[in-house]
Structure 1
Amino acid sequence: MYPRVILKGTLIKKSQQKRRTSPSNYKERFFVLDTQDLTYSERRPGKKPVQKGSIELARIKCVEIVCSDIPIPCSNKYPFQVFHDSYYLYIFAPDNDCRQRWVRALKEETKCNRLAVKYHPNFWMDGRWRCCHQTEKLAAGCHEYDPMGFASKKPLPKTPDPERRLSNPDLGRVVVVAIQNYIPHDASDLTLKKDQEYVLTDSSHPEWWAVQDDRGNTGFVPNIYIAEKSGSNFNRFVWYNKNITRARAEELLMQEGKEGAFMVRDSRQLGVYTVSVYTKAPGSNGEKNPRVKHYQIKDTEIEPFRFYLAEKYLFSTIPELIQYHQHNAAGLITRLRHPVTLGKDNSQNSFDVSQGEWEVEPAELVLGEELGSGEFGMVLQGTWRDRKVAVKMLREGAMSEEDFKEEAMVVTKLSHPKLVQLYGVCTQHSPICLVFEFMEHGCLSDYLRATRGHLSPDTLLGMCLDTSEGMAYLESSNFIHRDLAARNCLVSKDNEVKVSDFGMARFVLDDQYTSSQGSKFPVKWSSPEVIKYSKFSSKSDVWSFGVLMWEVYSEGRLPYESRSNAEVVESLNAGLRLLKPRQTPSAVHQLMEWCWKEKPEDRPSFAVLLHELASLSDL
């Protein structure tokens, strides 16, 4: 069986200088990573590529980003290293996203090797390591190597002012713990290692704080990557209330009256904390039942993952736990959406889409014919400022105005050519609506059925490629779609596919989304861990993408069309999968099956899927 290609692309490599007299040069090479080797070739116009080197993956000991403050002497400014045998190969990517894709893929393929315990985070130059100044090239590294420690997908805040001070004498000694690894992007940054302790030296900037490590090195880190070690030092968080009783918490949250309004407060028991959250979820009689639920934060006292709430999703710190449940209910009655604190500005984390550039004047919006209807209301064709638009109207009772604005808030923060673009919102009249770019051919599932038998293999592959590109962007933005399917993708007049309705599955009330356990999600597109535990991730989106590819190649058929949800769950538990559609190429079907691996960690990332599909489109 031939090795499977994982990534390929043009990068710049530095000469490995295997001899002391070898010149230091930088050359453009075409790299190919497959399941056996990393090879690089010289491409010459009009001539066959000449292979210049090949590294067997089994011989690789370390793959990591290179952090350096020296000028990069080539056009690609984002270096990473491959340590193999007794040699270091330095490769330079054109941007950070490209570098992270290669590092993640290489680490994934080499994680079972006999790896280095430590590595050098900086270059070997002029006969010494720039990080630790050792003069032996094969000297042990100075930083612990984490083969699973991929560079963070979280978007970083804006870079701090380099003139800012690195210490605040009024701060006192505050110990913080790194929630996750952080690799510096600038000479003034400091490396963070997950679960390691640091001393906070300056917290005056809203996003970048200065910390000091155990060697006395000081630098900036994004404050979302750290949390106070002390369990009682949560004063910087808008959700924390030190001395509020249960009755007062209920009073404040009922006054707020927003679904998911919450606070963290001290419990009666010393050193224990309670999350109080407001919900309008229906009671046992099916009617709305506004109330406040209280959840005690449990502490296992077993390091490093100690804290959890209703379900045992364990976290190293309480701030990390709260951050997770702000995006996932995971056993709670609702997500923690709106932090409320007595005596603090509760609006500091809010976002009002009805203010500023996003608000559309009703007089500028002309509504036309109905394009379709969804779980939340009608979608109409319209005109806005002389351009065609699609207008999503909120149906009364389908979804709260807060949730509707939350979708708008999400969409304004995400921008990519393969995501349906939001132009603005109209909140000044009822019903409120979102104004999107107009996609001539409508939803992908309907278009596939309407054109059955008329789309070429290249077009079908291109549709999958477009979708994977949009999803790779969402994955890199640390965003989970939750409802990826052909019905939630739209098609332009040029057959370009764009992803729509990101993250809306949590609001759906339709029967097709209800599993046998009563959870709300699209069962026939859902992975085993979503069905069993309602555990969403980018890897559960990957499973759904496999089903979407099946929809594309079956030209719009409904997956498991003759089976009930309960029968689908039973089949999946037995290890059965959707059958290969008749016109699906073998390579595409292999990708579908890869997406449907039982364990999430065995499924590919969207970055890998994108490159796999791109390589097929080049054939």
Structure 2
Amino acid sequence: MFPRVILKGTMIKKSQQKRRTSPCNYKERFFVLDTQDLKYSERRPGKKPTLKGCIALSRIKCVEIVCSDVPIPCSYKYPFQVFHDNHYLYIFAPDNDCRQRWVKALKEETKFNNLVVKYHPNFWMDGRWKCCHQTEKLASGCNEYDPMGYASKGPLPQIPEPQEVDIHDPGQRVVVALRDYTPTGDNDLPLHKDQEYILTDTSHAEWWTVQDNMGYVGFVPSTYVAEKSATNFDKFEWYNKDICRGEAEELLMREAKEGAFMVRDSRQAGVYTVSVFTKAPGSNGEKNPRVKHYQIRETNTEDFYLAEKYLFPTIPELIRYHQHNAAGLITRLRHPISQDRVWLRGSSKKKWEVSPTELSLGQEVGSGQFGLVLEGRWRDRKVAVKMVKAGAMSEEEFIEEARVMMSLSHCKLVQLYGVCTQVTQDCPLCLLFEFMDNGCLSDFLRDKRGRLSQVSMLGMCLDVSEGMAYLERNKFIHRDLAARNCLVSKNNEVKVSDFGMTRYVLDDQYTSSHGSKFPVKWSSPEVIKYSRFSSKSDVWSFGVFMWEVYSEGHLPYEHRSNGQVVESLNAGLRLLKPRSAPEPVHLLMERCWKEKPEDRPPFAVLLHELASLSDL
């Protein structure tokens, strides 16, 4: 009698690392679970599937999800483990529902096996268990294993008995994660984009408390979630609750900017309309200023769309996409408009607009592409004020840069506090940033030359890689990463700054159409040749940044012209190893400088490998 197939599907398998020196890799495999075995095969177009592994169910001793806060370098982010024959197989599912199905099925098929009493809820990495720090791979686990449980819960401080909860309970307030969030503190909860959470506390304006479907509770940034209920979009600058079609047209025609838009309530309860202004030519070929109205429609599977091919689980995600892609609309949604003309709002729903009367300016602390940076005071807070010199950028460009900065929130990025758009003779357009007492990193490195420890230099690289991994996860590119564009705090923490050249890219690639200037000595070959920017060109720049740190502030290619640098790169030459750089760090630099972008590691991997060096 043939075994019955229980589950099958494509997931990602991590190498088992049977020896400590084994390379770590992630490979897509087609898994089949039947009543006898767990098998996985390699599938290649036009070729017969190749069986790569087969585990008899009778040999499995533990099946459980993996709870970890380390960056996951593959595209599937939901890991679980299968312990068999003294080996650990780590499998990564595309979503939590898929992971739970496989764990539940495997537990059911193996519940009468000779199972472990305790298991390890975290990964075996770099020769130790991340959960209990034991250095023997076959050491007894640190959590009780429940073979009958749906999926065991990992430990979480201050939650003594986590219980699985029903997020579909109509009495609960449910939020949807607009993006991934990696915890920065012990009491934070990770967010996974598009996943639903129960909202339990909104008393703190900037940090809400949510509960996931495993019962874990923690803080998340309030800007990273939106209530699933389609009736609460107050936090978004594009939403206008009480406005009719005629009023919307009047406001947008008065604004008269291509792509000015708003989302408003339709006449039909629970339905929403996007109204957008365009000057696109009419049938006679002449400019035809007008307002187009698009109703947001919903599928039977509760997805939202404006154009049928582009479906989204939430309305905020739909709007976010069309802000960067027309995709069936007459124009992309460029400028959100609201009745009270508030363009920029903070996570606490307070206006981010700063009155010039609230701001006092002090001495100059630096200069940038668009003007001076001054020390300032705002509401008893020390701030850095980025002034925009006349003619350097339009108000629209200024608002767009501020909008980019507002959408980013991470402890390793310099934080934006507010903006001032009320131009006076003494106060032009300006942005108010977190003040970093120790200034520019390149100057800091030169001032501390000869007095920096290995721990300090590695810490600087870790700080910046963490900030850049965050940008990478959120599909932002920096385009000008260098020590001069990183700042140092009072306690010597390094943060990424200067997002004036940042662009949001849905396909992770931006090609300049204007022959934009860029810093050649920090630029990758594809940027130099084609002005083609991506997160992988940022990785190249990060390699140069590491070189700057370990050379203690020396300029790369110090005595060569830009032309000579280009010739050297074309010949395959790279920067030499700085005297202070350990060999593993230099090897990471060289990996950042691979000729082909696809051969360079993502920031998530760089962050993990730098962190592993800090444990040595």
What residue in structure 1 maps to residue 180 of structure 2?
none
The answer to whether 1:448 aligns with 2:445 is: yes
Q: Identify which of 529, 533, 540 aligns with 2:530.
A: 533
What residue in structure 2 maps to residue 338 of structure 1?
334
What residue in structure 1 maps to residue 403 of structure 2?
409
CA distance in 1, matches of 2:350, 2:26: 56
Q: Percent of counterpart pairs with the same letter?
A: 58
1:362 offset after TM fit, Å?
A: 2.4
Write the deviation string for residues 218-238 of structure 1: whole angstroms up to 9, x where unpaired: xxxxxxxxxxxxxxxxxxxxx
Q: Is the contact made by 2:64 and 2:103 (CA closer than 8 Å) also made in structure 1?
A: no
CA distance in 2, matches of 1:449, 1:469: 23
1:346 offset after TM fit, Å?
A: 9.1
What residue in structure 2 maps to residue 554 of structure 1?
551
Q: Is the contact made by 1:418 and 1:466 (CA closer than 8 Å) also made in structure 2?
A: yes
Helix, strand or coil: the match of 2:587?
Answer: helix
What residue in structure 2 maps to residue 37 of structure 1?
17
What residue in structure 1 maps to residue 563 of structure 2?
566
CA distance in 1, matches of 2:320, 2:377: 40
What residue in structure 1 maps to residue 601 of structure 2?
604
Helix, strand or coil: the match of 1:536?
Answer: strand
Cα distance, 1:347–1:489 mapped onto 2, change above 3 Å: farther
After TM superposition, list the pairs within 5 Å mapping 1:408-557 onto structure 2: 408-430=402-424, 431-502=428-499, 504=501, 518-557=515-554
Cα distance, 1:476–1:116 mapped onto 2, change above 3 Å: closer
CA distance in 2, matches of 1:478, 1:555: 30
1:582 offset after TM fit, Å?
A: 1.7
The answer to whether 1:590 aligns with 2:587 is: yes
1:325 offset after TM fit, Å?
A: 9.7
What residue in structure 2 maps to residue 201 of structure 1?
none
Cα distance, 1:34–1:359 mapped onto 2, change above 3 Å: same
The answer to whether 1:579 aligns with 2:576 is: yes
Q: Give the aligned residue type for 1:403.
A: E
After TM superposition, list the pairs within 5 Å mapping 1:45-444 onto structure 2: 62=29, 85-86=55-56, 90-94=63-67, 98=70, 100-101=72-73, 121-123=99-101, 128=105, 163=170, 258=257, 338=334, 351-352=343-344, 356-430=350-424, 431-444=428-441
1:608 offset after TM fit, Å?
A: 1.1
Q: Is the contact made by 2:388 and 2:429 (CA closer than 8 Å) also made in structure 1?
A: yes
Helix, strand or coil: the match of 1:560?
Answer: coil
1:515 offset after TM fit, Å?
A: 10
CA distance in 1, matches of 2:94, 2:389: 58
Mean Cα displacement is larger for which, 573-582 or 487-496?
573-582
Write the deviation string for residues 474-512 of structure 1: whole angstroms up to 9, x where unpaired: 1222222222111111011222100112252579xxxxx
CA distance in 2, matches of 1:379, 1:429: 16
CA distance in 1, matches of 2:519, 2:259: 23
CA distance in 2, matches of 1:324, 1:336: 9
Cα distance, 1:549–1:124 mapped onto 2, change above 3 Å: closer
Helix, strand or coil: the match of 1:572?
Answer: helix
What residue in structure 2 maps to residue 305 of structure 1?
none
CA distance in 1, matches of 2:494, 2:363: 22
Write the deviation string for residues 25-82 of structure 1: whole angstroms up to 9, x where unpaired: xxxxxxxx99871689xxxxxxxxxxxxx99968987499x9xxxxxxxxxxxxxxx9
CA distance in 1, matches of 2:398, 2:383: 18
Q: Is the contact made by 1:449 and 1:555 (CA closer than 8 Å) also made in structure 2?
A: yes
Cα distance, 1:317–1:533 mapped onto 2, change above 3 Å: farther
What residue in structure 1 maps to residue 614 of structure 2?
617
Cα distance, 1:520–1:391 mapped onto 2, change above 3 Å: same
Q: Give the aligned residue type for 1:530.
A: V
CA distance in 1, matches of 2:193, 2:29: 18
Q: Give the aligned residue type for 1:610.
A: L
Cα distance, 1:552–1:124 mapped onto 2, change above 3 Å: closer
Cα distance, 1:415–1:516 mapped onto 2, change above 3 Å: closer
Q: Give the aligned residue type for 1:92.
A: I
CA distance in 1, matches of 2:93, 2:435: 53
What residue in structure 1 maps to residue 132 of structure 2?
none
Write the deviation string for residues 556-600 of structure 1: whole angstroms up to 9, x where unpaired: 222223333333333222222122112111111101111111222
Write the deviation string for residues 390-449 of structure 1: whole angstroms up to 9, x where unpaired: 111111111112212222212222111111112212222330211111111111112112
CA distance in 1, matches of 2:557, 2:278: 39
Cα distance, 1:499–1:574 mapped onto 2, change above 3 Å: same
Cα distance, 1:60–1:435 mapped onto 2, change above 3 Å: closer
What residue in structure 1 maps to residue 45 of structure 2?
none
Helix, strand or coil: the match of 2:533?
Answer: coil
1:385 offset after TM fit, Å?
A: 2.4
Q: Give the aligned residue type for 1:37.
A: Q
Q: Is the contact made by 1:371 and 1:380 (CA closer than 8 Å) also made in structure 2?
A: yes
CA distance in 2, matches of 1:593, 1:379: 35
1:533 offset after TM fit, Å?
A: 3.0
CA distance in 2, matches of 1:56, 1:453: 36
Helix, strand or coil: the match of 1:391?
Answer: strand
CA distance in 2, matches of 1:117, 1:417: 29
Q: Is the contact made by 2:512 and 2:532 (CA closer than 8 Å) also made in structure 1?
A: no
How many residues of Structure 1 are paired with residues of Structure 2 in the alignment? 402
Cα distance, 1:363–1:183 mapped onto 2, change above 3 Å: closer
1:352 offset after TM fit, Å?
A: 3.2
Cα distance, 1:118–1:182 mapped onto 2, change above 3 Å: closer
Helix, strand or coil: the match of 1:357?
Answer: coil
CA distance in 2, matches of 1:568, 1:325: 40
CA RMSD, Structure 1 to Structure 2 (Å)? 5.5
Q: Is the contact made by 1:61 and 1:84 (CA closer than 8 Å) also made in structure 2?
A: no
What residue in structure 1 maps to residue 137 of structure 2?
none
Helix, strand or coil: the match of 2:595?
Answer: coil
Q: Is the contact made by 1:443 and 1:489 (CA closer than 8 Å) also made in structure 2?
A: yes
Q: Is the contact made by 2:71 and 2:608 (CA closer than 8 Å) also made in structure 1?
A: no
Mean Cα displacement is larger for which, 481-490 or 381-390?
381-390
1:356 offset after TM fit, Å?
A: 3.5
